[in-house]
């Protein structure tokens, strides 16, 4: 069952895209839906993009729900281990 819920947020960062080239990313879109490539019924799909550079300036990630939860935990652990002055909320 698809939720059709799509979450979009502005972000600041970089992502390595096709041909190993780095690109600025300014937007993230997250949704739970059918994957394009991953062999699963549904995945958490994350698109890191820079719309100003056109539709090809994008990196897509498809994760099973379990893998997405583990990624969330890994991100929280990494941020919690960083000194407060380095990982402070801006």
- State the Cα–Cα distance between residues 50 and 43, nearest whole angstrom: 22
pLDDT per residue as tens digits for the range 39-51: 999 999 999 999 9
Backbone angles phi, psi at 32, to 5 degrees: -110, 115
Q: Model pTM?
A: 0.86
pLDDT per residue as tens digits for the range 40-88: 999 999 999 999 999 888 999 999 999 999 999 999 999 999 888 787 7
What is the CB neighbour count within 10 angstroms for residue 88?
8
Q: Is 45 helix (H, G, I), strand (E, B) or coil?
A: strand
């Amino acid at each position: 069952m698809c939720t059709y819920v799509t979450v979009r947020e502005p972000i600041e960062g970089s992502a390595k895209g096709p041909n190993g080239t780095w690109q600025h990313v300014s937007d993230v879109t997250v949704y739970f839906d059918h994957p394009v490539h991953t062999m699963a019924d549904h995945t958490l799909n994350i698109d890191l993009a820079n719309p100003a550079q056109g539709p090809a300036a994008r990196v897509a990630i498809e994760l099973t729900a379990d893998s997405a939860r583990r990624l969330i935990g890994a991100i929280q652990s990494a941020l919690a281990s960083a000194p407060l002055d380095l990982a402070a909320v801006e």
